[in-house]
Amino acid sequence: MRAYVVRTGSGKWSASWEEYPEPACPRDGVVVEPRAAALAWSDVLQQEGGYVGAVPDPPFVSGHEFAGAIVEAGPDAGFAVGERVFGFLPRPAAFADRVAASSRFVRRIPDELTDIDAAAITTSFLTADVGLFTVGGLVPGQSVLVHAAAGGVGRSAIQLARASGIDTVVATAGSAARQAEAAALGATHVTGYEEFPELVREVTAGRGIDVALESVGGEVFDRTAEVMAPLGRLVTIGASSGTPPRRLKLPFLWQRSVTVGGLHVANLLAGSPDLLEDSWQRVRRLLVKGELDAGVGLVVDRDGIPSAAQALRGRTVSGRVVIDFSARDTRPLP
Ligand SMILES: NC(=O)c1ccc[n+]([C@@H]2O[C@H](COP(=O)([O-])OP(=O)(O)OC[C@H]3O[C@@H](n4cnc5c(N)ncnc54)[C@H](OP(=O)(O)O)[C@@H]3O)[C@@H](O)[C@H]2O)c1
């Protein structure tokens, strides 16, 4: 089969399409022929050797999120050949002609969703939902601050907050155009990474924000901690700036009655998928009713992975990047 394989040589990491052994079908799982797969910034970092976190030793097949049709099912799979499914793999292997997955990591695609949309929803919506409601404890009547609102997780968070009756959604993004996109998705107040403390104080009459979903890190995290309301919950999910939060000291939390929480959706999916069930059900219900936009900002074909990675690097993509596998590639490999 063809697969987008990450290799190292002379200390350099690279990734390209090549012939690769087909995966075996697990007893408790399926083999899927992907029609679409999502390219996340973390996939790009894994392809380049810059990912902070666990990565398999190269060579390995890139990609975690996919959607497609089952071509083989194990005896204990609970799925049948031909069913449309989407999934998330804790260990990368999704950018390939065949993907093997335990049934724990696979779900049926509702008829209302396209394969392209289904490939894009798992990390964005689960991270946003678990972050806002399970870790953040957000309830109607409270206010929320969503950073990096034009990104995949940010877009999902704005929509989920509004769909659950949150009236004050403050959002940040890196340009006026991206702030306008956040407003179009339902953010009630939009601003930049420098200016948000002032806006939060203004819209909350000085009280501060109840829940913040923070993914930028560095100074943005520090400034966010300063604008939390009493008993506010600051949920840290990443550090897109490349600088993880470092300065916050624990006494700050008790002096200000603030809670800091975190989550790692891939680890939860791998180890405790039951804890995600409420979020899955909520997201599915809203998607099926057409109340959420899956947030696909760019669709490329198989050859478009490097240019899509470049677009993610340049922060020119709003929402998720999806690779459209629907046209089978029969050209000879180089
Ligand atoms: N903990 C978890 O389980 C989990 C799961 C998924 C994602 N994450 C993390 O959540 C964050 C968002 O993920 P995503 O999938 O939404 O990513 P994404 O679509 O690539 O969006 C990230 C956004 O961050 C903004 N950003 C702000 N400062 C940046 C900087 N210095 N460099 C690059 N981008 C910067 C950019 O928007 P502007 O240009 O508008 O600023 C960019 O669009 C990432 O840090 C990711 O690692 C965590």
| C-alpha span between 135 and 333 (Å, rounded) | 46
Lowest mean pLDDT among 98-102, 106-110, 221-225, 263-267: 263-267
Lowest mean pLDDT among 43-57, 67-81, 258-272: 43-57
Classify residue 185 as exposed, middle or buried by CB count within 10 Å of its CB (0-12, 13-18, 19+).
buried
Q: Which protein residue's CA is at the shortest distance from atom 21 of ligand 1?
A: 151
Indicate if 185 and 211 belong to the same structural domain.
yes
pLDDT for residue 55 is more than 90: no
Of 230, 220, 323, 267, the residue nearest 105 (C-alpha): 267
- For residue 321, the CA-to-ligand 1 centroid distance in Å is 13
Of 164, 133, 131, the residue nearest 268 (C-alpha): 131
Q: Which atom of ligand 1 is nearest to the CA of 268?
A: 3
In a domain, 225, yes or no: yes
Q: Which protein residue's CA is at the shortest distance from atom 9 of ligand 1?
A: 238
Indicate if 142 and 74 belong to the same structural domain.
no
Range of the domain at 29: 2-121+294-324
What 317-321 contacts at long range (C-beta under 8 Å, 24+ apart), as own/partner pairs, is 318/150, 318/151, 318/155, 318/178, 318/181, 319/120, 319/150, 319/151, 319/152, 319/155, 319/295, 320/38, 320/40, 320/120, 320/124, 320/152, 320/294, 320/295, 320/296, 321/38, 321/39, 321/40, 321/296, 321/297
Mean pLDDT of 3-18: 93
How wide is the angle at C-alpha 211 spanned by C-alphas 252 and 89, nearest 5°?
Answer: 105
Indicate if 117 and 56 belong to the same structural domain.
yes
- For residue 149, the CA-to-ligand 1 centroid distance in Å is 9
Indicate if 110 and 214 belong to the same structural domain.
no
- For residue 213, the CA-to-ligand 1 centroid distance in Å is 11
Indicate if 102 and 168 belong to the same structural domain.
no
- For residue 79, the CA-to-ligand 1 centroid distance in Å is 34
Q: Which protein residue's CA is at the shortest distance from atom 35 of ligand 1?
A: 240
- For residue 148, the CA-to-ligand 1 centroid distance in Å is 6
| C-alpha span between 100 and 70 (Å, rounded) | 10
| C-alpha span between 132 and 232 (Å, rounded) | 12
Residue 246 tokens read as: 């470092």
pLDDT for residue 332 is more than 80: no
pLDDT in tens, 73-91: 999 999 999 999 999 998 9
Of 251, 283, 252, 248, the residue nearest 134 (C-alpha): 283
Q: Phi/psi at 84 (nearest 5 deg)?
A: -85, 125
Indicate if 135 and 101 belong to the same structural domain.
no
| C-alpha span between 217 and 314 (Å, rounded) | 18
Of 291, 322, 318, the residue nearest 159 (C-alpha): 291
Amino acid in the structure at residue 38: A
Task: Using most ligand atoms within 8 A of CB, pick from 159, 160, 240, 275 the residue to mutate for ligand 1.
Answer: 240
Task: Using most ligand atoms within 8 A of CB, pick from 65, 215, 320 the residue to mutate for ligand 1.
Answer: 215
| C-alpha span between 280 and 237 (Å, rounded) | 18
In a domain, 331, yes or no: no
The mean pLDDT of the chain is: 94
Indicate if 18 and 58 belong to the same structural domain.
yes
Q: Which protein residue's CA is at the shortest distance from atom 42 of ligand 1?
A: 151
- For residue 99, the CA-to-ligand 1 centroid distance in Å is 26
pLDDT in tens, 131-148: 999 999 999 999 999 999
pLDDT for residue 333 is more than 80: no
List CB contacts of 140: < 8 A, sequence separation 6 or more.
164, 165, 166, 167
Q: What percent of the chain has pLDDT over 70?
A: 98
Task: Using most ligand atoms within 8 A of CB, pick from 121, 134, 153 the residue to mutate for ligand 1.
Answer: 153
| C-alpha span between 304 and 311 (Å, rounded) | 11
Confidence band (pLDDT; 50, 70, 90) for 199? Answer: very high
Classify residue 214 as exposed, middle or buried by CB count within 10 Å of its CB (0-12, 13-18, 19+).
buried
pLDDT for residue 182 is more than 70: yes
The binding-site residues of ligand 1, defined as CB within 6 angstroms of any ligand atom, are 40-42, 123, 127, 148, 150-154, 173-174, 178, 215-216, 237-241, 263-265, 312, 315
Indicate if 139 and 262 belong to the same structural domain.
yes
Q: How many domains is the chain built from?
A: 2
pLDDT for residue 10 is more than 90: no
pLDDT in tens, 277-312: 999 999 999 999 999 999 999 999 999 999 999 999
Residue 38: which CATH number? 3.90.180.10
- For residue 151, the CA-to-ligand 1 centroid distance in Å is 6
Mean pLDDT of 90-107: 95
- For residue 106, the CA-to-ligand 1 centroid distance in Å is 25
Indicate if 75 and 151 belong to the same structural domain.
no
Indicate if 95 and 145 belong to the same structural domain.
no
Q: Is the dihedral of CA 70, 74, 77, 80 positive or negative?
A: positive
Q: How high is the pLDDT of residue 117? A: 96
Q: Which atom of ligand 1 is nearest to the CA of 175?
A: 40
In a domain, 161, yes or no: yes
Residue 151 or residue 55, greater confidence: 151
Amino acid in the structure at residue 72: E
| C-alpha span between 50 and 212 (Å, rounded) | 27
- For residue 10, the CA-to-ligand 1 centroid distance in Å is 30
Indicate if 192 and 76 belong to the same structural domain.
no
In a domain, 13, yes or no: yes
Indicate if 105 and 12 belong to the same structural domain.
yes
In a domain, 278, yes or no: no
